[in-house]
Structure 1
Amino acid sequence: MNDSQANASFKCVRDISVTSVLFPWLYSIIFILALLLNSMAAWVFFTIPSKSTFMVFLKNVVVADLLMTLTIPLRVMSDTGVGGHPLRAFHCRYSAVLFYVTMYISIILLGLISLDRYLKIVRPFGKGVLQRVWVGQALSGVVWVVMLSLALPNVILSDQPPRYSNGRIKCTSMKSQAGLDWHEGFIYFVQVIFWGTLALMIFCYTFISKKVYESYRASKSSSQAATRKTKAKVFVVVAVFFVCFAPYHFSRVPYTMTQTGNAISKCRVKNGLYIAKETTLWLSATNVCLDPLIYVFLCSMFRNRLMAVLQRKPLHKGDSPTATSTQLSQMTNNRLVGPPK
């Protein structure tokens, strides 16, 4: 009986011809670019004091992106068979979990950044509780603790002897039944996180864009050129977020159903969902290369410090513009992109 169940379980052989050849190269490109960009971002950010919740959230995104980047080499070696089965088992149990959890920590932090920019427009003349630095630090800490705690059972419950499919360890085979149930529940939970964060970002940036446009009209500035510039700034986060993460979250749930149950039985469909998941997951991973665009567009302090580094000259307080109190449009724009140095 057990043998027949095992044979039925592995009757559908996973097609890894693409994932074991193409994706290691694609992930290697991401790793090189992300390591360079995020190392530079970390070096710049940690020379800037954390005087706002905006800066606190951005620094935490950099840390999450760096940790996610450092898991990529293990994924590449696992997919190409370097290190054999022990490395594959290590990747399944530890580094893959860290890859996913840091991705969702980054997603939540991007949502908090959007909320922070929204509050800057709603309450431009005073700081609410959510805009205090210590609250930003506490929220960031809670995000890290909660997400790591929820991911920990995926490590602990991957305690079964590994089984092989097509000569390679199948990660879900290392999970107990409780582990499979937790894995499925965690996937549904992070789906709620993603779509909820996306809705929050659309709301916040739609409102911000409306306010900025109104301020340009009130100040009788060249609204057409100003509006184009503003839209580029306020929607870069939403665009990066949607392009990177939405395709993966469309494909993840049906793929999870092939891992944890028998709702999908056709082998061709299972392999198609596996390829779709791997392709969209790689697209999600490109976010670690695109997040630095957000820093450049939305954080003037980061932008000024980076330009000073690239031009190899010291940054003085007078090198960058300050907010003009007589122009509502400039004030609103400064609140949107973060405080100037």
Structure 2
Amino acid sequence: MIDSTNMTSSLNHTHHLFIPSVNHFFMLVYSLLFLQQASSSLMVYLKNLTAADFLLCLCLPLRITHYASSSAILHRVHCSIGATSLYLNMYTSILFMGYIAVNRYLKIIHPLGTHILQTVRTAHIVSTVTWVFLLAPTITYNIMFFKTHKPLTSQSGYCGPLFSTSFSVLHKTFQISCTIIFLLVFISLVFFYYSTSRRVLQAQQRQLASSGSEKLVKSRRNILVLVSIFCVCFVPYHLVRLPYAFLWKSSVGQLLYYLKEAATMVSVFNVCLDPLVYFFLCKTFRAHVRKASWRVNDPNKQTRRVRAATSQTNEL
């Protein structure tokens, strides 16, 4: 006969373990919803891209500590929370760069109307679904790692020796899924740039000095900025990451490991390059940059403007 007291205590224990993690999950989702107040769909995507960059910066101290320490505990944290945090922010950035490209491309196709995918409401829904879509496997990955990981037997930078057989399958599936996301966004960006370039060429052949042609040129430039940053930051990483996931035990495993770490460093560099996206695509950001540059170049200019405005007010 089953002891009802033990069963109840076991269920209570499971309940107490489960509720905090679920609460944290919902807290993060609602926080993201709160931060998504914006006047246009483009601004929603840009704000989410900024949030991904900010979260990536918060993850860097853990990665730095891992390289500076030989602690087994830090190594396990790096291979679980540290790695998945990097993946979460990287693929969030990749997806939102794709959304921004779609938004700009639709503006070219429907210059006089608002497509359903360009509305603020749709942007909020897409952004929320994206975060949930990436957070769910990230949390599952970490739970499975801590439940199944092997004890650390050697001091190495590899995470593979900690993986159990079942977790290795999950890890490879995770890597393949991430690579598919990367390829879909990459192909989309190339298509958008190629299609926009064709439209620019057609418009220039019809009427070189038209205002519509100038807008198309700007749109092509904006998509080119997205494609360039995407290729510089994320293509090298994905050329190395998937082979390393399958061949880290082979004779070329060590070489692939160092290439992966170098490519990861390059991918993190997108935090420094994303402001170019904000500058070229966001008028408000450009205005703030120009205002700041004016203050740096002539700190007394703003003061003179205030004094002039004050004197005019006094005269009135």
Do the structures match in fold with TM over 0.5? yes
1:236 deviates by: 1.2
Q: Distance in 1 between matches of 2:126 and 2:98?
A: 12
Query: Is structure 2 residue 131 aligned with structure 1 residue 144?
Result: yes
Taking the TM superposition and a 5 Å limit, the aligned residue runs for 1:93-172 are 93-159=80-146, 160-165=149-154, 167-168=155-156, 170-172=158-160
Of residues 225, 231, 256, the one that matches 2:245 is 256
- In the alignment, is the contact (CA less than 8 A) between 1:111 and 1:201 conserved in 2? yes
Query: Is structure 2 residue 237 aligned with structure 1 residue 240?
Result: no
1:271 deviates by: 0.9
The residue number in structure 2 matching 1:277 is 260
Q: Distance in 2 between matches of 1:120 and 1:158?
A: 44
Change (3 A) 1:98 1:237: same
Query: Is structure 2 residue 296 aligned with structure 1 residue 307?
Result: no
Q: Distance in 2 between matches of 1:164 and 1:58?
A: 44
Relative to the length of structure 2, the TM-score reads: 0.74
The residue number in structure 2 matching 1:4 is none
1:307 deviates by: 1.8
- In the alignment, is the contact (CA less than 8 A) between 1:153 and 1:182 conserved in 2? no
- In the alignment, is the contact (CA less than 8 A) between 2:196 and 2:220 conserved in 1? no
Q: Distance in 2 between matches of 1:99 and 1:161?
A: 22
Q: Distance in 1 between matches of 2:48 and 2:141?
A: 23
- In the alignment, is the contact (CA less than 8 A) between 1:157 and 1:175 conserved in 2? no
Q: Distance in 1 between matches of 2:178 and 2:259?
A: 18
- In the alignment, is the contact (CA less than 8 A) between 2:72 and 2:152 conserved in 1? no
- In the alignment, is the contact (CA less than 8 A) between 2:88 and 2:134 conserved in 1? yes
Partner amino acid, structure 2, of 1:277: K
Structure 1: which 5+ runs fail to align?
1-45, 315-341
Q: Distance in 1 between matches of 2:205 and 2:37?
A: 34
Q: Distance in 2 between matches of 1:228 and 1:130?
A: 22
- In the alignment, is the contact (CA less than 8 A) between 1:162 and 1:170 conserved in 2? no
Q: Distance in 1 between matches of 2:247 and 2:50?
A: 34
From the two aligned structures, give the one with the greater helix fraction.
2
1:182 deviates by: 1.1
Q: Distance in 2 between matches of 1:217 and 1:147?
A: 44
Change (3 A) 1:306 1:176: same
Partner amino acid, structure 1, of 2:102: L
Partner amino acid, structure 1, of 2:287: N
> Cα deviation per residue 1:112-165 (whole Å; 9 max; x = unaligned)?
110110110111111121111011011011010011111222201112243143
- In the alignment, is the contact (CA less than 8 A) between 1:104 and 1:190 conserved in 2? yes
- In the alignment, is the contact (CA less than 8 A) between 1:64 and 1:105 conserved in 2? yes
SS in 2 for 1:124: coil
More deviation in 65-74 or 294-303?
294-303
The residue number in structure 1 matching 2:189 is 201
Q: Which of 1 and 2 has greater Rg?
A: 2
Taking the TM superposition and a 5 Å limit, the aligned residue runs for 1:166-181 are 167-168=155-156, 170-181=158-169
Q: Distance in 1 between matches of 2:208 and 2:240?
A: 47
- In the alignment, is the contact (CA less than 8 A) between 1:85 and 1:169 conserved in 2? no
1:208 deviates by: 2.2
Change (3 A) 1:64 1:127: same
Change (3 A) 1:71 1:138: same
1:228 deviates by: 7.8
Structure 2: which 5+ runs fail to align?
1-34, 296-301, 304-316
Structure with greater contact order relative to length (CA < 8 Å, sep ≥ 6) = 1
SS in 2 for 1:265: coil
More deviation in 287-296 or 300-309?
300-309
Query: Is structure 2 residue 54 aligned with structure 1 residue 66?
Result: yes
> Cα deviation per residue 1:233-288 (whole Å; 9 max; x = unaligned)?
331110110121111111111100135xxxx632xx11111111111111111111
- In the alignment, is the contact (CA less than 8 A) between 2:192 and 2:223 conserved in 1? no
- In the alignment, is the contact (CA less than 8 A) between 2:236 and 2:263 conserved in 1? yes
1:176 deviates by: 3.1
1:229 deviates by: 6.7
Partner amino acid, structure 2, of 1:302: F
> Cα deviation per residue 1:181-228 (whole Å; 9 max; x = unaligned)?
1111010011111111011011112222333444455453299x9698
% same residue: 34
1:170 deviates by: 4.0
